[in-house]
Amino acid sequence: MKPDDPDILWVQEPELGLAGRMYMPMFVQGLSTTLKHLAGSLRGKQVTVSYPDEEPQLGNPLIYRGVHRLNRDEQGRVKCVACFLCATACPAHCIDIIGVESPWPDREKYPESFTIDELRCIYCGMCEEACPVDAIELTSLYNLTGRSREEMIFDKEKLLSVYDATKDKEPMQSTRLGGTL
């Protein structure tokens, strides 16, 4: 690109006033900003959360991306129809579904087994976006721990139990966000 190219927008930097040239007023300005933050911190306005001592305040738990859950429908059955859209959408390939013919008349397939490797998951939320029946959702449980790798591979029962544990606190997003069941 040549210097006289018409696409170049030449911006003139503003001239320094006397205050800027004398440096000291700018110095006082910087120092007062620092002092303001120092005073704020000393009055307890830090943004840090001392985590094990106090629980963090999640901005909106409904859209937080934590541990997965498998939702149940009104009859307590798993909502999943084993369409594999979540497993296809998953960039980390952590979802493993075995779909078999459904015993119920309202759908063709259901998951015989549905496992998520929580260690492999990157919590991007693509599975939740992809699901056509809002069966898989991410909850606001952020402190997921385990003592072994096997323990962190969640199967269908575990994922349904996460739903049972969180359904009162976090109602299904589809209804909350104006969607259909």
Partner 1 sequence: MTTAALIEILVKVILLLGGVMTAAAYFVLLERRMAAWVQDRVGPNRVGIPLTRIRIFGLGQPLADGVKFIMKEEYTPAHVDKRMYVLAPIVILVAALTVFAVIPFGSVLPVDLGIEGLSEPIRLVVAPGMDVAVFVIFGLSSIAVYGVILGGWASNNKYSFLGALRSSAQLIAYELPLGLGILGVVVAAGSLDLEAIISAQATSGWWFILAQPLGCVVFVVAAFAEAARLPFDLPECEQELIGGYHTEYSGIKLLLFLVAEFLHMITAAFLIVILFLGGWHFWGLTGAGEQVGLVQAVLRVMVLSGKVFLVILLFMLIRWSWPRFRFDQLMALAWKVMLPLGLVNLVSVAILDQLRTAWQLDAWWSNPLLIAANWGICLLAWIVVAYAQPLIADNRPQQELELYDVDPQV
Can you give the binding site for partner 1, defined by CB under 8 A?
2-4, 10, 16, 18, 21-24, 27, 30-31, 33-35, 37-38, 40-42, 45-48, 50
Least separation, in Å, of the C-beta of 66 and partner 1? 24
Pairwise CA distance, residues 3 & 1, whole Å: 7
Contact yes or no for 68/127 (Cβ under 8 A): yes
Q: Is 51 or 104 the residue whose CB approaches partner 1 more closely? A: 51
Q: What angle do CA 116, 165, 162 make, to 5 degrees?
A: 5
Least separation, in Å, of the C-beta of 15 and partner 1? 11
Least separation, in Å, of the C-beta of 140 and partner 1? 24
Q: Is 22 or 119 the residue whose CB approaches partner 1 more closely? A: 22
Q: Is 16 or 119 the residue whose CB approaches partner 1 more closely? A: 16
Question: Tokens at residue 5, please?
Answer: 């190219």
Beta-carbon contacts of residue 23 (< 8 Å; ≥ 6 apart): none
Q: How far apart are the first and last CA of the chain?
A: 57
